[in-house]
Structure 1
Amino acid sequence: MPTQAKLTQGSTFRHVVTMSFTGALGLMCMFLVDLVDMLFLSMLGEKEAVAAVGFASSILFFTVSLSIAISIAATALVSRAIGAGDVALAKRRAVNVLAFGILFSSLIVWLLWPNIPHILLFIGAEGRTLDLATGYLQILVLGMPAVMVGMIGSGIMRALGDARRAMYTTLVGGLVNAVLDPIFIFAFGLGVQGAAIASLLARFSMVAVSYYGVVHIHKMLGEFDLMDFLKDLPSISVIAIPAMLTNLSSPLANAIVMEHTSTFGDDAVAAVAIIGRIIPVVFGGLFALSGAVGPILGQNYGAGRFDRMHGAISSAVTYSFIYCLVLCIGLYQLQDCLVSVFNATEETADLIRFFATYVSFSFFFQSLLFIAIAVFNNLGKPLNSTLLNFGRATLGTLPLISLFALFMGAEGILFGQAIGSIIFGCLGFYMARNYIAGLEQKAAEEIIPLDGIRFDEVI
């Protein structure tokens, strides 16, 4: 059981690096398995199989995004309670967010499963590719409640500052997936469906790991009480619903990109699918940034430490720049290797090389948006995150990729996305810095000089 808010002490840069790297290792392991999935399926010599997983990934990203959104609510609510020293409140909110997540994910599975073929057809899948993508998704979607539980458990542990055990949830899931993949794909001869079954079983392993960390190690789940759940439901919804909308914008952008890419043929779709697998593996340290910065901000907000909140933001930017510089250089050097490994056709290879050479560094600016999202989600303005991310997914995607595709072909789709990331990353970061400054000023004004008691509510 936590005895102190550990993220309110020590170097903010060290906390950012530790939380980001541990989160990244877990995420990168999970996404590396997806990359290996793509590699195994490319070895079957059927480009429709690779394209099918590419289309399915757009829908899967939607379900995972919802799980991450609710884990954001768990992290924000639990970390603020821990920062304020109220462990009982933290335990109550942990179990109530978990109950919310299980109910919500079960509802999504019930609504989504029968409509999978129609959704895939809408975003451009057809023929053999449509059939393979449908079978793949109808298996994997059933594991959404397991992903939800695993992500929420990981979020609770991050809120406590236990980055290592939070990492284990996705790390173990990825390792289980990696072991089962070749067995189901090749040994059992199940192909695309085998990859889906292996991933489904791996998702259930995440539940066991997160349950062990939250319940047995930290003892952070209180007893479920319906009245307490109803009492906490507004607090959960205020964060979770805008966070869901925020995270839904990324699948929306991916669906827009995939629909436009499909007009250039299966080779272009395969390239975008491969790039979509490369991005989380290479830039996992940035995707983990929002989840890393959030608990640091939450605990220090609960403790009233605005100096450390400013320090955490500056540390996150420094970390992002160094990370992007090193990884983009590495990606540029390895682009021919990637083309060879995936047996890419000439058109597919051209798009992979274009991404590695001209587009990859735009992820630094996307990391600025991740930082801004962490600020707004954890400090009481999640709707701002929603507006920013939907702005990037719509105004920062559709007009730009349409415009650049007219002059650059399929490469223009990748380039248009990069320009959108630059615009909205800079805008979001500017807004986030101003918002923290405003919170600090408001807190200073609410301190009564006579006895120094602060009446502002930090939870």
Structure 2
Amino acid sequence: MRHVLVMAGTGAIGLMAVFAVDMLNMVYIAHLGENALTAAIGFAGAVIGLQIAVSIGLTIGISAATGRAIGAGQHEEARQIASSALAVMLGLSCLLGFGTMAAAHPILHLFGARGAALEHASTYLQIVSPFLPLICLGMGSSSLMRVVGDAKGSMHITLLGALVAAILDPILIFGLHEGLTGAAISTALSRFVVATVGLRGALRHDMVTWPTPSRILPDAKHVASVAMPAILTNLATPVGGVYVTQSMARFGLEAVGGQASIERTVPVLFSLVFALTGSVGPIMAQNMGAGFYGRVRETLTAALKLVLLSIGATWLILVALQNYVVAVFNAQGDAAMLIHLFCSLTIGSYLFVGMLFVANAAFNNLGHPLYSTAFNWGRATLGTIPFVGIGLHYGPAGVQLGQAAGVLVFGTLAVITAFRVTRNLSGPALPHSTAPLTASDIPTTSAEAAMAELDELTPLPALCDQDGSLQNHVKTDSRPT
């Protein structure tokens, strides 16, 4: 639990800072008094969500592959895999970013944007999308720092990016009167900071080098075995979100603006839950590589406890403060109604979203990434389209209630399956015990090899500092944490 708290807690602080800046962007734009601008953020956010989903999937693949290597004491192998994967990630993100810039207008029209909202959202995407490779590099570097246990360093990457955006946003939006364009420029500059700081951190831990050309293809295939299902998994949520945005668009710009306000608020409120996916994954992968299957199960249980506590506490607070939330977003009409409904009722559905996120982390890092894909796409299709379709007959509130209802089934099934997966883990494992190891405890093909491993592994000191980081132990000690 302490390890999960340290890794997820520091990750949550960084995520909260980033998402808080996004939420402030929404607040700033809302106070300009133009519904078209508020709706434009909603439409542009749906497209950016798809881009980031691809980036997260690639990051999960890098994290899982390098985490297992670190857990098995193979630091050089982890570094080579990470370097090859980052090179491929940069190439793919360039194609996606510049492709989105070129096709922004037709994509947004497909999502339901019209008139002034379409023009504003197109301008925003055309400024932000070319900088997608920078945020991908920052995310990938941050995941490598979590893999080696540098939770604080990973947190600092996102904190600095958020700080830059927080300073520039009001200056560009209000001071220079750039409006939504100013928000886009601020986002682009903050991505540059995230990439620079992240790469420096990965280099400091010797987790990145120039990729070896002969290794790029085989390493990319290795990472892709997890990354491709993870990309499909992470695409499911924004694809479902696109359907919800299209449905809200039928009820006018106020409904789209209200939905966009909620979508900007949720990541801030549940930063700890969002951070768990990226934080517990490396913990599971390392212990999987080390053969400590009991610790894998403990990690899953600890993460679910944190989800329950985080969402329960947040729900109580929002019920009491919902009028202030509406006032902050300057919401009127349908937008205000949707925010009230979220704060008082549908926020509870995020308990099951959190369960799904934690289960996905288990599947991606324990060799069952297709389970994540199946459950997420099940939620985005069977858990969204029929429920939201029924809700359409009852207005914007029905759409939100339908979206909330669909996740209940898939979140529950996913977490049940995750526990089954952890129970079925098997293979040669080091004993989860503080007692001295004996030769019979270590699977090997010869008594001499067993004694050599015994000399290396006994005693087994703690490798983590009090903050949960491996720090300098990574390069000097190949034993699993």
**TM range, normalised to the smaller chain?**
over 0.9
The letter for the 2-side match of 1:370 is F
The residue aligned with 2:413 is 427
Alignment of 1:180-195 (within 5 A): 180-195=168-183
**TM-fit CA distance, 1:161:** 1.4
The separation in 2 between residues aligned to 1:180 and 1:99, in whole angstroms, is: 30
| Partner Cα separation in structure 2 for residue 172 and residue 179 of structure 1 | 11
Distance in 2, Cα, partners of 1:451 & 1:334: 56
In 2, Cα distance between equivalents of 1:234 and 1:97: 9
CA shift, 1:405, in A, is 2.8
Q: 1:262 to 1:369 in 2, by over 3 A?
A: same
Give distance in 2, aligned partners of 1:163 and 1:238. Answer: 26
Give the distance between the partners of 1:302 and 1:293, measured in 2 at CA.
Answer: 14
Offset of residue 223 of structure 1: 3.3
Counterparts of 1:381-392 in structure 2, within 5 Å, are 381-392=368-379
TM-score scaled to structure 1, two decimals?
A: 0.93
Counterpart-to-counterpart distance in 1, 2:404 and 2:206: 44
| 3-state SS in 2 of match to 1:45 | coil
Task: Supply the distance in 2 between the matched residues of 1:64 and 1:183 (Cα, whole angstroms).
Answer: 26
* CA displacement, residues 13-71 of structure 1 (integer Å, 9 cap, x when unaligned): 11111111111111111111111111111121111101100110000111111111111
Q: Could you say what secondary structure the match of 1:192 adopts? A: helix
- Tell me the secondary structure at the aligned position of residue 77 of structure 1: helix
Query: Distance between the aligned counterparts of 2:114 and 2:359, measured in 1?
Result: 38
CA-to-partner distance for each residue in 1:187-231, whole Å, 9 max, x for gaps?
221111111001100000001111121112x12113311111122
Kindly, what percent of the aligned residue pairs are identical?
A: 38
Aligned pairs (5 A) from 1:248-263: 248-263=235-250
2:410 maps to a residue whose letter is: F
Corresponding residue number in structure 2 for 1:378? 365
How far 1:258 moved relative to its partner?
A: 0.1
Question: Distance between the aligned counterparts of 1:454 and 1:285, measured in 2?
Answer: 41
1:433 maps to a residue whose letter is F
Contact 2:98 2:129 (8 Å CA) reproduced: no
**TM-score, normalising length: structure 2:** 0.88
1:121-150 CA distances to partner (integer Å, 9 max, x unpaired)? 111110001000000111010110001000
Matches of 2:265 and 2:328, distance apart in 1: 12
Question: What amino acid is the match of 2:57?
Answer: A
Structure 1 position 327, deviation (Å) = 0.9
Which stretch has the larger CA shift, 188-197 or 222-231?
222-231
Measure, in 2, the Cα distance between the counterparts of 1:414 and 1:253: 12
Would the aligned equivalents of 2:307 and 2:354 in 1 still touch at CA under 8 Å? yes
**SS of structure 1 residue aligned to 2:103:** helix
Mark the CA change 1:224 to 1:42 in structure 2 (over 3 Å): closer, same or farther: same
Task: Report the Cα distance in structure 1 between the residues aligned to 2:3 and 2:48, rounded to whole angstroms.
Answer: 31
What's the counterpart of residue 395 of structure 2? 409
Task: Summarize deviations over 1:405-435 as a string: whole Å, max 9, x none.
Answer: 32x3211111111111111111111111111
5+ residue gaps in structure 2? 430-438, 446-479
- Cα deviation code 1:434-457 (max 9, x no counterpart): 1122223x558xxxx9885269xx
In the TM superposition, 1:320-335 aligns within 5 A as 320-335=307-322
**Structure 2 equivalent of residue 101 of structure 1:** 89
Pick the aligned partner of 2:33 from 37, 41, 45.
45
Quick check: 1:297 aligned with 2:287? no
What SS is found at the alignment partner of 2:300?
helix
Where does residue 143 of structure 2 map in the other structure?
A: 155
Deviation beyond 6 Å, 4+ runs, structure 1: none
1:280 aligns with 2:270: no
- 1:202 corresponds to which residue? 190
CA distance in structure 2 between the aligned counterparts of 1:176 and 1:331, rounded to whole angstroms:
28
What amino acid maps onto 2:17 in structure 1? C
Q: Residues 305-320 of structure 1 correspond to what in structure 2 (within 5 A)?
A: 305-320=292-307
Post-superposition Cα deviations, 1:342-372, rounded to whole Å, max 9, x if no partner, equal 1111221111000111110211111111111
Q: Structure 2 CA distance, aligned partners of 1:358 and 1:31? A: 22
Which SS does the other structure have where 2:73 is aligned?
coil
Summarize the alignment of residues 35-184 of structure 1 with structure 2, pairs less than 5 Å apart.
35-184=23-172
Using a 3 Å threshold, how does the CA distance of structure 1 residues 293 and 454 change in structure 2: closer, same or farther?
farther
Instruction: State the distance in 2 between where 1:126 and 1:92 align.
Output: 47
What SS does the aligned partner of 1:411 have? helix
C-alpha separation between the residues in 2 aligned to 1:341 and 1:453?
61
Distance 2:67 2:381 in 1: 32
- Tell me: CA distance 1:454–1:380, structure 2 relative to 1, closer, same or farther (3 Å): farther
The amino acid that maps onto 2:443 is I
- In 2, distance between residues paired with 1:135 and 1:20? 35
**Is the CA contact 2:428–2:443 (under 8 Å) kept in the aligned structure 1?**
no
Q: Match for 1:359 among 346, 349, 352?
A: 346
Residue of structure 2 equivalent to 1:16 = 4
